[in-house]
Amino acid sequence: MPYQSVNPSNGELLRTFDEHSDQQMEEMLVTAEQTFREVWSTKPIRERAKVVGKAASLMLDQKEKFARLATLEMGKRIAESRGEVDLSASILKYYADNAETFLAPRPLHSLAGDAYIEYSPLGVLIGVQPWNYPYYQLARFAAPHLSSGNVMLVKHAPGVPQCAVAFEQLFSEAGAPRGAYTNVFLSNDQVAKLIDDPRTKGVALTGSERAGESLASRAGKNLKKSTMELGGSDPFIVLEDYDLEEAVKMAVVGRIGNAGQTCIGAKRFIFVGPRLEQFLKMFRTALESLVIGNPFDEATTLGPLSSEAALTLLLKQVNEAVAHGANVLTGGKRVNREGSFMQPTILTDIAPDNPAYRQEFFGPVALIFPAKNEDEAIAIANDSPFGLGGSIYTKNIDHGKRVASRIETGMVFINYPSVSTADLPFGGIKRSGYGKELSDLGIQEFVNKKLICASNGFSLVA
């Protein structure tokens, strides 16, 4: 299938890119493997870090260009696009500043002798990335693993090809050698061939459960390291002592950011105690007050979904939920205007046998769950196939930490929806995937942690 750039605000086809042929794919792989062996892996970490740091500076210098492309291709509000550029640049800079420290040999205190762990890159990595954060997703894959000495072939989502090309050009302008970071327009079958190829050493995916099942099984068959970030249905738990106005404010932030198209977005709102009706009234008013419009308009507070296909899927999920007994408190339909716009929606009365109970809604749809007490709220939060992030709202931070320890996710935030920063590890459990990105943990996913030990004559044999 071709890679198409379509403006979701009006359906206009902007540009089309053909898939690379098998021969082009082979040439790219040959170049990447050669660059790894002869150039990139041989450089000191600080020299690689300079390239990554230069990319961060260039991205900030060209912020408006990058931001406008993201808004044009996937409909992100322009202010959010600028914020994504800032976040992406901060990730690049973080690893440029810290890679040498993170990858310094780590001494071990062993009776066997002088022992230490040495970190070395694996080789050519394959990255498969989604459209919802067209630069951030690339930055959190590229920054640590380029810094560690790996090289990469990156298949971005077919809906954001101009963003993909712009990010590849960024590293070229920053001084990365040809083959260090390569954008590839490939089919799923071609990606499978790359995973099978012995010259590739690892696979990183951010995407759907179905994609995760396919790529993880392929990587496993080939005994290759993989990381999988597969989305989530994050619980947003409001305890009885929390301020209602603040809860509503955080609920809007958590659900409406990026038009609800974020894996760590607040999706399941679990409310403890008797104030639920009051919360719902305030939440509904806040959602109905959003300004739906052109994402380039600074006054817009809710832009379109990324594509017509994304809107169609979300509408199907809402209709299916209603058919199984859910109630639409507000919204539930597409907006009567040009473009792929969805009304902000609240669903209530979602029983455990409703398909919506265990689904991820990737858009401005909030699912409401009442809880009689804290234990029931935790049970509802954990009764999910996903385990990416979550948040808890309480005036008692220490109590919030105790509740957080009982939540089955990879990340829990207190009094703020799940966020991502360069220095916080990112990743989930259950069907949200495995492996960590960002922080010092992220850079260790695709390196060989080699033990080197000089014996002191100590015998381990009795």
229 catalytic per annotation: yes
- Of 229, 360, 374, 445, which residue is the catalytic one? 229
Q: What is the DSSP pairing of strand 266-272 with strand 365-371? A: parallel
Identify the DSSP state of 203: E
CB atoms within 10 A of CB 413: 22
Burial of 250 (0-12, 13-18, 19+ CB in 10 A): buried
Q: Which residue has the tokens 């990324």?
A: 306
- Asked whether 370 and 348 are in contact (CB, 8 A), the reply is no
Distance CA 144, CA 150 (A): 9
Alpha helices in 222-270 (DSSP H): 244-256
Q: Which residue has the tokens 């009304």?
A: 343
Please state at what angle helix 188-196 crosses helix 22-35, rounded to 10 degrees. 40
What's the chain's length in residues?
462
Q: Which residue has the tokens 């459209």?
A: 131
Distance CA 298, CA 292 (A): 11
Cα distances (angstroms) measured from residue 398 to each of 273, 372, 393, 395, 402: 20, 21, 12, 9, 7
- Of 33, 168, 263, 445, which residue is the catalytic one? 263
- Asked whether 95 and 52 are in contact (CB, 8 A), the reply is yes
19 catalytic per annotation: no
Q: In which element (H, E) is residue 451 found?
A: strand 447-455
Reading the block at residue 326, the tokens are 């859910």
Reading the block at residue 369, the tokens are 């769950």
Q: Which residue has the tokens 């989604």?
A: 130
- Give catalytic residues, as residue numbers: 229, 263
